[in-house]
């Protein structure tokens, strides 16, 4: 019925050298349609990007991107090479951004699927201590 969209292994990226996740909040001028389309096309081709979505909240942020890298330098190098050098005028679209680097220690890093199942069970009144 469309509930399960896929499944696969949970990979420990740190064991492969990818110890850094960059979360980036963008303030993008979405009236720059041509530039926006180029940015989205570049992000779709970029294997480092695993999420790019609209975001609603406080401030003027309207896009959220999640990237995976081995280190901060790799993030900045890829950003310059794959975005700013290949998309002239990208500064017209990206008015501001905040970059957050998540790294060790993780105080909680569980399964998104397990969390969703637990939330659904709780909302349905199912005892979470049962198996």
pTM of the model: 0.80
Residue-level pLDDT at 130: 61
Cβ neighbours for 54, distance < 8 A, ≥ 6 positions apart:
62, 63, 64
Report the alpha-carbon distance of residue 10 to residue 7 in Å, rounded. 9
| pLDDT per position as a tens digit, 11-57 | 777 787 788 899 999 999 999 999 999 999 999 999 999 999 999 98
Residue-level pLDDT at 6: 76
Nearest Cα to Cα of residue 103 among 79, 74, 77, 130:
74
Nearest Cα to Cα of residue 50 among 23, 27, 10, 74:
23
Q: What pLDDT band is residue 125 in, cutting at 50, 70 and 90?
A: confident
With pLDDT > 70 as the criterion, what percentage of the chain qualifies? Answer: 98
Report the alpha-carbon distance of residue 44 to residue 54 in Å, rounded. 15
Over residues 112-129, the mean pLDDT reads: 83
H-assigned helices in 1-131: 33-45, 72-79, 90-93, 112-123
Q: Would you say how long the chain is, in residues?
A: 131
In this model, does residue 60 exceed pLDDT 70? yes
Among 34-43, 81-90, 108-117, the range scoring the smallest mean pLDDT is 108-117
Cβ neighbours for 116, distance < 8 A, ≥ 6 positions apart:
none
**CA distances (Å), 84 to each of 53, 90, 111, in order?**
20, 6, 34
In this model, does residue 131 exceed pLDDT 80? no
Cβ proximity of 39 and 90 under 8 Å: yes
């Amino acid at each position: 019925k469309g509930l399960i969209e896929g499944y696969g292994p949970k990979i420990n990226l740190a064991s492969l050298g990818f110890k850094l996740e960059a979360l980036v909040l963008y303030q993008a001028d979405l009236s720059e349609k041509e530039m926006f389309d180029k940015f989205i096309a570049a992000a779709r081709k970029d294997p480092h990007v695993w999420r790019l979505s609209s975001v609603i909240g406080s401030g003027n942020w309207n896009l959220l991107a999640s990237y995976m890298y081995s280190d901060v330098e790799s993030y900045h190098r890829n950003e310059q090479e794959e975005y700013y050098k290949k998309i002239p005028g990208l500064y017209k679209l990206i008015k501001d951004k905040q970059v957050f680097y998540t790294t060790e220690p993780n105080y909680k890093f569980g399964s998104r699927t397990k969390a969703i199942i637990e939330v659904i069970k709780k909302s349905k009144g199912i005892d979470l201590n049962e198996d």
